[in-house]
Structure 1
Amino acid sequence: MRNLRMQSVDSPFDQLGLAPHTAAALSRADAMGLLGEPVTCLDFSALEQLRSGMAKAGIGEAFVAEFEQLRTGDPAQIRALVTKIIDALEQSPAPRHEWPALVEVLGLELAVRLLGISQSSARRYRSGERSTPDSVAARVHFLALVVGDLAGAYNDIGIRRWFDRPRSQLHGTAPAEALGTQWSPDDPAARRVRELASALVSSPAT
């Protein structure tokens, strides 16, 4: 991952399970290409960087006032806002930001194989020469979210290998094989792949 290098946790993020909850939001944002600078400490400045990145992608505009009140809020209020942030990121494809971040982690060859498109199309979408079609943008976003979940358990090499490693939870197939080619995030197989990755947010790597 590019910009999430957590080394310490400041109060109040060490309360009410805030640390893993907020780290999950930051990891998701990093995988979506929304963190402009390295985040090394889980504190209010990390949330401010998250807010700034979301704003550039047009995400979470309704939360501006809540962000401004965070420093005087209690841990429960912060957790409630982080929950809203996670949901907003989940529902908000941002291909202009996600393309570079996704290719940096997966590499172009694996990325296009998972997306079911050609390298030439991917390069045009990534550069902005052509707009990313909605169906492809949805798959890019889905993969960014999966990568964000996997980042808590694996480094970039491990993330790439994860997609081609058979999983018992997928009836012995690898995630890449389970997805196929012209898949949609709403397909049952894609949902199973996402559930498998999401389980790693709170579990050891498997």
Structure 2
Amino acid sequence: MAVTGTPLTARAVMQDAPVIPVIVLHEVQHAVPMARALVAGGIRMLEVTLRTPQALACIEAIAREVSEAVVGAGTVRSSNDAAAAARAGARFAVSPGYTTALGSACREAGLPLLPGVATASEIMAAQAEGFDALKFFPALQSGGSAMLKAWQGPFGDVLFCPTGGIQPGNAAEFLALANVACVGGSWLVPGDALAQGDWERITALARAASQLARG
């Protein structure tokens, strides 16, 4: 299942499965079994957020030991974040927003970037620098599915991954939209499942997510 041959792109990351898990890890020993559990459920694009001191070590462990997974770094906000993520073995980057410096740093590091946007002006700024696969964040607070529907006209050439407030109960309304390639969500890796080492539960959540229908 590993992505080989052609270079990875942001669109390929978004189109691999209906959900990209947004993962917060506090213990390095959880990284590999969690990644294997997600892959077993059909989810292999894994966004490990840079929100904890252990995040880079977790990315490195997954990149080294779980060849079926494609691990990326989330909450990438600076050039230093991008460089550190690439050194750790990340294959893609996800950011809450976008700056020219970040876009350049990700290109230099060879990391496909899913930049975060919340307004039409931000979409246009990202498009002007070559980005057309974007993270809509925070999705619910920024207008939800109604905003994405409104963007289908002026931004029909853009694909989105709405993230922020997405849960199993509302994922389908986003995935039904033609301009949504996938959604981002933290529900696939609950904190209590990590703490308990309940990898079967994570696999079950991933399997259900991988079977969500897309428009």
TM-score, reference length from structure 2: 0.25
Higher helix share: 1
**Structure with more strand by fraction:** 2
> Is the radius of gyration larger for structure 1 or structure 2?
1
